[in-house]
């Protein structure tokens, strides 16, 4: 009596078994992509004009003009550095109490909820939106830029520092509490020693981010080298714009390397 071997091929189970539903989803995705493409008004004439401008921009990038607007470039860089330092210092100071309040293991629940909602609100606003808001409130200039970077920095440092505080060793916290220490002494002797190094690393990293953001918010009028770049682009002075872009790239690389080196030594 012969036995017949039946060979079967294993197939991964489909997440959507019904073929009508699968093809229906595919049709909807393709229709969405088509509508999205038509909504951005892409046409050959517009693309050709854009490519010609790209050529002009790259020609300015490879032939930068540092002389005609050199004074404004230097002033813009110094203003961006000043904005970065001022906003980072204020953000470090303000972020600590907010981070403590946003840590559920050391504060009452109502304080935790208020601080968490506050952090959520300021983190939900993009830095450009914050820049526009402060420019409307205080006018053009570095003041709006400092406030923008400060608020954004408080959200960044506060959120990450609060998570670190919530992950500290509870044994040290309970040991200090067992001595009858006040809340402030508990923070000073049990919480801060465990997160201080992390706080320094976050602050340095935030300063690096703030400098890069200062080049962006200047375009909406919040001061810094971004404002000088926006002026050059508005005048179609691509050679000066290329020089500014080169300076920005060099400064970003320097700050990135410097902040990384400092964090490695400290953290």
DSSP 143-202: HHHHHHHHHHHHHHHHHHHHHHHHTS-HHHHHHHHHTT--HHHHIIIIIHHHHHHHHHHH
| Predicted pLDDT at 1 | 46
Q: Which residue has the higher pLDDT, 29 or 223?
A: 29
Dist CA 172 CA 178 (whole Å): 10
| Number of domains the chain is built from | 2
Per-residue burial over 213-250, b if 16 or more Cβ lie within 10 Å, else e, is bbbbbbbbbbbbbbbbbbbbbeeebbbbbbbbbebbee
Same domain, 45 and 163: no
Q: What is the pLDDT of residues 208-227, one digit of tens each?
A: 899 888 888 888 888 888 88
Q: What is the pLDDT of residues 236-253, one digit of tens each?
A: 888 888 888 888 888 888
Same domain, 146 and 199: yes
* CATH classification of the domain holding 79: 1.10.3720.10
In order of 58, 191, 230, the CA distances from 243 in angstroms are: 11, 47, 13
Q: What is the pLDDT of residues 152-188, one digit of tens each?
A: 999 999 999 999 998 888 888 888 888 888 888 888 8
State yes or no: pLDDT of 72 exceeds 90: no
Dist CA 76 CA 82 (whole Å): 10
| Predicted pLDDT at 11 | 66
Same domain, 53 and 76: no
Same domain, 255 and 148: yes
pLDDT exceeding 90 applies to what percent of the chain?
A: 29
Same domain, 40 and 73: no
Same domain, 149 and 119: yes
Token couple for 24:
């229906």
Same domain, 89 and 39: no
Q: What is the pLDDT of residues 81-117, one digit of tens each?
A: 999 999 999 999 999 999 999 999 888 999 999 999 9
Same domain, 34 and 105: no
Same domain, 53 and 69: no
Which pLDDT band holds residue 10 (cuts at 50, 70, 90)? low
Write the burial class of residue 261 (CB in 10 Å: 0-12 exposed, 13-18 middle, 19+ buried). Answer: exposed
Q: Which of 42, 58, 74 is the last residue of a domain?
A: 58
| Predicted pLDDT at 260 | 79
Token couple for 200:
């320094």
When pLDDT is averaged across residues 14-36 and rounded to a whole number, the result is 81
Same domain, 44 and 85: no
Same domain, 54 and 138: no
Q: Treating both helix axes as pointing N-terminal to C-terminal, what angle do 238-266 and 192-217 enclose, rounded to 10 degrees?
A: 180
Any domain includes 3: no
pTM score = 0.78
Same domain, 248 and 154: yes
Q: Which residue has the higher pLDDT, 259 or 213?
A: 213
Token couple for 27:
């049709």
- Residue span of the structural domain in which 39 resides: 19-58
Any domain includes 190: yes
Dist CA 146 CA 152 (whole Å): 10
């Amino acid at each position: 009596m012969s036995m017949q071997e039946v060979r079967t091929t294993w197939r991964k189970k489909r997440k959507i078994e019904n073929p009508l539903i699968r093809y229906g989803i595919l049709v909807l995705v393709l229709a969405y992509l088509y509508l999205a493409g038509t909504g951005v008004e892409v046409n050959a004439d517009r693309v050709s004009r854009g490519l010609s401008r790209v050529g002009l921009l790259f020609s300015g990038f490879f032939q930068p003009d540092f002389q005609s607007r050199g004074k404004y470039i230097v002033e813009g860089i110094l203003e961006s550095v000043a904005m970065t330092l001022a906003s980072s210092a204020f953000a470090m100071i303000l972020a600590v109490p907010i981070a403590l309040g946003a840590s559920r293991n050391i504060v009452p629940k109502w304080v935790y909820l208020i601080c968490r909602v506050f952090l959520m609100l300021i983190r939900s606003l993009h830095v450009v939106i914050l820049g526009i808001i402060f420019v409307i409130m205080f006018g053009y200039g570095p003041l709006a830029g400092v406030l923008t970077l400060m608020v954004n920095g408080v959200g960044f440092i506060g959120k990450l520092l609060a998570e670190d505080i919530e992950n500290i060793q509870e044994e040290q916290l309970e040991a200090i509490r067992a001595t009858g220490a006040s809340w402030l002494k508990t923070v000073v002797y049990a919480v801060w020693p465990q997160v201080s190094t992390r706080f320094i690393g976050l602050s340095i990293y935030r300063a690096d981010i703030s400098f890069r953001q200062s080049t962006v918010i200047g375009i909406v009028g919040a001061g810094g080298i971004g404002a000088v770049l926006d002026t050059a682009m508005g005048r179609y002075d691509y050679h000066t714009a290329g020089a500014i872009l080169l300076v920005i790239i060099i400064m970003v690389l320097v700050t990135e390397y410097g902040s990384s080196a400092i964090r490695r030594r400290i953290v």
